Structure formats: structure tokens, C-alpha cells
Amino acid sequence: MAVTVRHATRADAEAIAGFAVALFELHARWDPRRFTQIATLEGATRFYGDRAEAGSVLISEVDGEIAGFAYFEYAATLYAELATRALWLHDIYVAEKYRGRGAGKELLTEVAEEARRLGAEKVLLTVAVRNDEGRRVFERMGFETTMHEMMLVVD
């Protein structure tokens, strides 16, 4: 089993969009008060296709089949996050059948390399409270908790 990571192209956008919609649905199941399933396959294909062309989407492949993706953006200053020289990892997803086979680890390793290449000092991400599996993966890769998001429902 060979795991490779590469920059996505617009041709990969539909496969990435399928993963993204699954990721969004997973979040909405975990906490429907916090997360809203707003994505459609068509809209996500357009969104991630644009980001792929900008060079901010990576995909992992296992034996030539797309196994997952990571979408990130670099910012010299993130005022809302009180951070500078940060790469924000917005989304990362690995198809269930490829989990535990290195596809996620290789994606995160390459995200860190992209951060270095872009001049970032750190990689930031958020993880859903109910995403125990993801949190364990991030911690094994060296991520540490620095913030806790909180929510007040006002309706």
C-alpha cells in the first residue's frame, strides 16, 4: 500500500467535494445546533476547485485512489485569532476505509511542509468536541490544545 500526497487540481474537485460534504454531514450529526449542513456537491465542487487552483488543497492517494484531502490558507496576520504567520487548516478528511493506513498522517506531514514553505510559524485548526478520533490523530502529530470554542444558543 503506497500513500502519496500531492497538490489537488481542479480535476480533483468533485472527489474532494464528496469528502467535504461527508465531513460537513458528520459535523451536523455531532452537533446540529452548532453545525449547519450548508454544502451541496455542486457548490463544494466549485469552492474546492477554486482553492485547488490557488494551491491550497492537498490530496492523499492510496495506491492511486484519492483517500482524503486537506484545505488550508496561510495568513501573515489573523487578527480574529490573535496570530501571525499562521497556516489555518480549515478542513481535513480521510475516507473511513483509509483511516489508520497513513493517509491522514501523510496529509498532516505535508500540511506542515506547506506551512514551512509559505513562511508560517504554526499550523492552527479547530476540532469538533465529539471528534475524538481526529483529536487523537492531531495530538499524535504534535498539535496541542490552545483554545476552547464556546457557544450560547440564543433562540
Entry field: residues in the chain: 155
Helix-strand-coil split of the chain, %, nearest 5: 40, 25, 30
Domain layout of the chain by residue ranges: 3-140
Q: What is the residue-level pLDDT of the chain in tens, covering all 155 positions? A: 799 999 999 999 999 999 999 999 999 999 999 999 888 999 999 999 999 999 999 999 999 999 999 999 999 999 999 999 999 999 999 999 999 999 999 999 999 999 999 999 999 999 999 999 999 999 999 999 999 999 999 98
* DSSP helix/strand/coil, 150: coil
Strand order in the sheet with 65-78: 3-7, 57-62, 65-78, 83-94, 122-124
The pTM (predicted TM-score) of the whole model is: 0.95
Topology annotation, domain 3-140: Aminopeptidase (3.40.630)
CB-based contacts of 21, cutoff 8 Å, min separation 6: 39, 40, 41, 44
Using left for φ > 0, alpha for ψ between -120 and 50, and beta otherwise, residue 6 falls in beta
